[in-house]
Chains A and B, each alone.
Chain A
């Protein structure tokens, strides 16, 4: 099921700006999503994730910067792009008197559009994109969704499933999912994750905006973290981790020497154990300085050692917590967007 790679990134956004009145929703946002990757799009509420997605769908017109989806301008070529894009909004609203099955089919047919042809890198001029009926039925079963209920009787989670089934059953190249699991229970969350994994295996590109960090950690090849309309971090999880601190907890025979003041060591605490010379050391080390920490620990008689790489939550909170500090704005300006080069 693998496909030829198109000659351009699935999404390329540079310096994107969008204001609503006096509010600057997007303030120079950058985003690059490569074909075939699952890209996590993270940020606190109001950071500009949904606004970015609406610009990418050509629903909003940007005030500045550039945006390209599948190599085309989303404002001018919206219809052309949409033939190859499926979208799941964060808050799915359905028509009261249309059944879920009708809505799924309708969304599928809307994607087909009139005269939609496959792009050249997929063997151009082939059959029209649209809804895969077998996959639709299979997805309905996996998501345990009753397609005969009317729109007004679905719960929030079930409305979300309607949009997800339509998106996953569509024959498209790019899936844009805006907090798609906010109403799903843990079982359905698992179904969702396996569906995204299948999409990746088929060579499709996914932009996943999410709050559920475990989900992003499990699914995404690369992530972009945005804050106040700007990208503050972007790269693979490994690259991001490398830039941050690893938590080290060690039990030692005696107190360590030379850890305090060692460059790259933060938040050192030494806690005596059972009144004796033995102690438990807890510290955070810059990941690229981890080696230098091990020396003093070994010299002090290492009994046990756990080293925990930073979770995505910690990466995320590092940017979140800046908001709580009064000098957050200046710090932000000092840190270049997209610190990690691809």
Chain B
């Protein structure tokens, strides 16, 4: 490592480079005192809780062996979840959660590292800290240590929880290390990205892209061959799975993870030693000196601010649609053999044919996820307002309604665009798998678009709160989360219909396959109009800022 560092008055190994690391680490942990525990608990507990849920769904060795065999036989399911290495209860937990948990740990780690490195520099706060007795390497070290604390927490909670619930200790440890270790590797990769870009957002995107590529490589590798292909071994997510927890652990994979993490960390330190504070290796590109014609008013501005987000959501949901469409046929045949899983899907998706029930549960899921886009797009106005950027716009010859109208149109039309993209890929992928693209696509697309009025209702609630109770804008997220939780867990928990009806999604028919009446669509749309009007009236009457 020292060979990479340019000669300096203070030698690279000098402890003075690390001065202040302890203080910065305490600052980071203090700032993340809520974020890290919530991540660790949710991540660890969701892995541990998979055990009991599999135990009740697949309660005999025969059922588990059947599940494992059929999963491994289906290429698209292998692509989504990876191969099943062992049909013990622990083996199934590892199959389901090793890759998923590793992805979540990676996201957590990259957020922590970027937050305490590039984000601090970009905001100018690091300048003040670095002017104190803080070594050149201290901020990066403190950020990596904060990620280490979180990842170790996930590993320990996972391993201890699984072992305590009766799974073999060796396998539990292997799974914990696989998830926490992948998280740590992505912490190191995020540390490299933080040196490369000037903007924290770009650094997060870059690390996220690496994570996406790792997932895609593993999916491609596992789809092409049962038990993995060389492609799988190019992906850290693949390593986490191929550590084979509960199925004859390959402990040497841990060395692979550790060595890569060490290399990436060394690279990040070498880069940080060769650059100035606030600077980067990929400098920000200059923009145009003049505004394009499209940036001509509040609506053009709203489009400019929101178009990237909309494109990202459209691409993401289209991808999700394609994946779910591809596995729909296989999933239905699998579910058919298991009475309890079947019941769950029927409650989520309706009493029609099992494939339709599966598809309906997916369109419902897509509709709920789209609400996150729509609410975020409406609340962008609040961010503009509190950030002081709305004020100069409204000091122009721009009425408040015109300003809000631009963002609202993008949120409402964007909802339809996002869902149309998802419905289209879902329909095409499903149609291709059953050999009837023409017949399947239109039906599935219509079923997905049927979610739009419910999403609009939640967006309209956001607008109403924005206009009438702007300080409570954050509560809209809690309300949206509540509606999603009702939609996701309500049917599984057999909640009564009046409880499900609290969410706008509870009023939609289960499509495709269910009976359709116009009434719920009409009154959900009417309710949206009323809520948006109330919000706009409130916005016109209140103070800005």
Contact = CB atoms under 8 A, between A and B. Distances in A.
A83 interface: yes
A109 B297 contact: yes
Contacts, number: 116
Interface string B277-301: 0000000111111111001111001
A93 interface: yes
Interface in A94-112: 94-99, 101-107, 109-112
A105 B290 contact: yes
Interface in A48-89: 54, 57-61, 78-80, 82-83, 85, 87, 89
A150 interface: yes
B122 interface: yes
A105 B295 contact: yes
B279 to A, nearest CB: 11
A163 interface: yes
Nearest to B394: A59
B311 interface: no
A6 interface: no
A101 B288 CA distance: 7
Interface in A129-170: 146-150, 152-153, 163
Contacts of A103: 291
Contacts of B394: 57-59, 78
Interface string B468-500: 000000000000000000000000000000000
A113 B288 contact: no
Interface stretch (B85-93, B221-229, B241-249, B395-403): B395-403
Contacts of A113: 396-398
A4 B4 CA distance: 71
Of A85, A102, A163, the most chain B CB neighbours within 10 A belong to A102
Contact of B544 (A60, A83, A95): A60
Chain B interface, DSSP helix/strand/loop, else mixed? loop
Interface string B373-401: 00000000000000111011111111100
Given A83-B397, A101-B290, A149-B286, A110 B298 contact: yes
Given A87-B392, A98-B304, A111 B291 contact: no
B439 interface: no
Given A87-B395, A101-B287, A113-B398, 20 more contacts: A58-B394, A80-B397, A82-B395, A87-B392, A89-B391, A89-B392, A95-B305, A96-B201, A99-B286, A99-B289, A107-B396, A109-B296, A110-B393, A110-B397, A111-B396, A148-B287, A148-B288, A150-B286, A150-B287, A152-B122
Interface of B: 122, 198-199, 201, 284-292, 295-298, 301, 304-305, 387-389, 391-399, 541-545
11 contacts: A54-B391, A59-B543, A61-B541, A80-B397, A89-B388, A98-B295, A110-B397, A147-B289, A150-B287, A152-B199, A153-B198
